Structure 1
Amino acid sequence: MSTIPLPPGLWERIRAVVRDEVGKLLRSGFLRSASIGEGGLTLRGGFLRLKHDGDGVETFYVGPVSPDLPDGSKQPGVIIRRNDGTIALHLYDPIPSEGDYNQFLAWRDRQGHVVFSDDTDSGQGIALPYIPFAFYRSRNEDWPVVTSTAWTTVYRAKGPKQQPKLYVETWGANNTDGATGQVRVLVNGTELATPGDTASGVVRGFNFGPAAVSGDHLSTLSIEVQARMVSGAGGVQVGVGTVQGRQS
C-alpha cells in the first residue's frame, strides 16, 4: 500500500487557519452574554475579576489573595471594591502565619476602617462594632414609684427602627402589703405585649417581646415603660433592664 505524500507546508497552513479562526472567535465577543442552564463553571487555580468598563477599576475579585499561606500555597479570598477603588468588603486572613489560619469577613468604610466583622478566632459572634451594655439600679427601693391608678410613664426611650421586632426587660413590685399593680410597655402608643401583674413582697421580672413593631425602616420608635396601681395602698416600684431590637 502506497502513501500519498502531503503537499509541502500543508500542516503549517492548517495551523494558521486554526489560529486565525480561534482569534476571530475570541475577538467576536461570543461570550458577552452567556448562561449555564445545567452544571456550573469551575476555576482551578485561577480567578474571576470584574472591571469597570469606563476607568478599569476592579470592583469584584474572587481568587488568590495576599499574603500566601504558611505552606506557600495561595490563600483564596474575595474582594469587593467601590467604584473609587476603596475596599468595601473582603474575606481573607491578613496574618495567616500567626496563630490559626482563620479568615474573617470585614466591611470597611472608605477610609479603610472596619465597620463590621465576625470574631473569626473564637468562631462565635462579631468582633466589631462593640455593643454597649447599660447599668440599672438593682435595689427595688431605689426604683421610681407610681401611686396613681392611671397609667403613668416612668421611663422613655427613642430611637430609629433598625429591626422588625423589639424586646424590653422590666421589673415591678408593690411596696405595701396586699397591694397589686401592673407594668406595661408602649411603642408609639401601642402595647408591645400583655401588661405584667405586680404584687407586694416579691420582685417580678417581665419580658415584653420580642414582638413586631410597626413603622418604616429608620422611623422613630417612642418606647414607654408605664405602671399603675390596681388595688391597695402605696405604690408600684418599677425598674428597667434592656431595650433591644431583634430579628424576625
Structure 2
Amino acid sequence: MAALPEDIIDRLDAMERRLQRLSTAVVTRPAGGRTGTTVQRLYDAKGHEVVSGDPVIGGLGRPWLAMLPPQDSASARWPQTTATVWTTIARSFNPVWQPGLRLYMATSVSSGCTGAVRVLLNGTPWGDPVAAGSTFDRTGPVAADFNAVFGTLLRVEVQAQVTDGTGTVHAQPQLMYGTQI
C-alpha cells in the first residue's frame, strides 16, 4: 500500500477536528426556531437546586424571594415587654436557602428605663444584644454547619428585657433576608 503524502494526512486530521467541533456545537446549542421553552436549573456543589425558572408563567421559580410587608411605624404598637428577664416578643420561621442572614431592626424604650434586645436563631443567641433605643443591624451565618440546615426551617426570635427602671422595651424588625457571607 502506497504511503499518503504527509500534507493529506494533516488535512484529514484537521477536517476530523473541525467535524468534532461542529458535532459538539450542534449537541450543545438549542435548535433555532423552537417554540417550546426550556426550564433552566442551577445546582450547588451538594446537588441542591438553587435557582430555577418557572415553566408555567415564566420568571423566577426558585428561590422564593420574600418581601416584608409594610411595618407599623408607631413604636407603641410594636412587639414589646415590661419583663426584666429575656422574653420572646416576636417570632418567625423561614426556609434556609443562603448561609447568611441580614436583619435590621428598630428598637425603642419608654422614658425612665433602659433595656436590651437580642435575636435567637433556633434557640441560640445570634450576635450581641443591643441597648434598647439603638438599631440592631447584623449580617452573619445562620448556623455553624450550613449543609446541616439547608432547606430546613429557621426559627428567628426577637427577645427583649428591661434592665433598669420601670417601663417598656419595643422592637420592630424592618428588613430581613438571606445572603452570602
- Common fold by TM > 0.5: yes
Task: Give yes or no for the alignment of 1:140 onto 2:108.
Answer: no
Higher mean C-alpha deviation, range 158-167 or range 128-137: 128-137
Q: Is the 8 A contact 1:187 1:224 kept in 2?
A: yes
Give the superposition deviation at 1:235: 1.7
Aligned to 1:221: 154
Aligned to 1:247: 180
Q: Is the 8 A contact 2:114 2:131 kept in 1?
A: yes
Over the aligned positions, Cα root-mean-square deviation in angstroms equals 3.9
Aligned to 1:113: 58
Higher fraction of helix:
2
Which one-letter code corresponds to 2:89 in the other structure? V
Alignment of 1:16-165 (within 5 A): 48-50=25-27, 60-61=28-29, 87-89=38-40, 108-111=53-56, 113-115=58-60, 132-165=67-100
Q: Is the 8 A contact 1:134 1:242 kept in 2?
A: no
Q: Is the 8 A contact 2:94 2:155 kept in 1?
A: yes
Which one-letter code corresponds to 1:134 in the other structure? P
Structure 2: which 5+ runs fail to align? 41-50
Larger Rg: 1
List, as ranges, runs of 4+ consecutive aligned residues in structure 1 with deviation greater than 6 Å.
none
SS in 1 for 2:97: coil
Give the superposition deviation at 1:109: 3.9
TM-score by length of structure 2 reads: 0.69
Aligned to 1:8: none
Higher RCO (Cα < 8 Å, 6 or more apart) = 2
Which one-letter code corresponds to 2:39 in the other structure? A
Distance 1:160 1:149 in 2: 32
Distance 2:165 2:67 in 1: 39
Which one-letter code corresponds to 1:193 in the other structure? G
Deviation by residue 1:53-85 (Cα, 9 ceiling, x = unmatched) = xxxxxxx317x956xxxxxxxxxxxxxxxxxx8
